[in-house]
Amino acid sequence: MNIMANKEDQYTQTAEAVLTAVGGTDNISSVTHCMTRLRFNLKDESIPKDDKVQNIKGVIGVNRAGGQYQVIIGQTVAKVYDALTAVSGLKRNAPIDENLDANLSKEKQPFTWKGLGTTILNKLAGCLTPLIPILIAASMFKMFAAIFGPTMLNWLSTSSDTYRLFVLVGDAGFYFFPIFLGYTASKQFHTSTMVSMFLGAILLDPNLVNIVKAGKAFSVYGIPMTLVDYSSGVIPIIVAVWIMSYVEKFFKKYTPDALSTIFVPTLTIIVMLPLTLTIIGPAGTFLGRYISDGILAFGKMGGIWSILGVAIIGALWEILVMTGMHLIMISTMMMIFAQSGHENFVDLGAIAASFAVAGMCLGASLRIKDKDEKALGFSYLIASLIGGVTEPGLYGIAVRYKKPFIGMMIGGFLGGLYAGATHVTAYVLVPVANFLALTGYVGGSTANFVNGVISGVIAFTGAAVATYMIGVSSKEQQDVENADADFKLVEA
Going by the DSSP 8-state scheme, the letter that residue 482 receives in this structure is -
Q: What is the 3-state secondary structure (H, E, C) of 77-116?
A: HHHHHHHHHHHHCCCCCCCCCHHHHHHHCCCCCCCCHHHH
361 is catalytic: no
Q: Which amino acid type is present at position 126?
A: G
β-strand partners of 64: 69
Using DSSP bridges, classify how beta strands 68-72 and 61-65 pair: parallel, antiparallel or unpaired: antiparallel
| H or E element, residue 124 | helix 113-128
Which residues in 378-489 belong to E strands, given as ranges? none
d(CA 393, CA 354): 10
Phi/psi of residue 92, nearest 5 degrees = -80, 135
Classified as helix, coil or strand, 274 is helix
Sequence length of the chain is: 492
β-strand partners of 219: 224
| H or E element, residue 236 | helix 235-254
Phi/psi of residue 389, nearest 5 degrees = -115, 115
d(CA 358, CA 380): 8
CA distances from 474 to 46, 117, 402, 477 (A): 23, 21, 13, 5
- Determine the number of helices (DSSP H) and then strands (DSSP E) in the chain: 22, 6
CB atoms within 10 A of CB 168: 12
Question: Which residues lie closer than 8 Å to 414 by C-beta, 6 or more apart?
Answer: 311, 314, 352, 458, 459, 462
Catalytic member of 21, 31, 34, 351: 34
d(CA 151, CA 387): 11
Cα 186–Cα 187–Cα 192 angle in degrees, nearest 5: 45
Looking at the annotation, which residues are catalytic?
Answer: 34
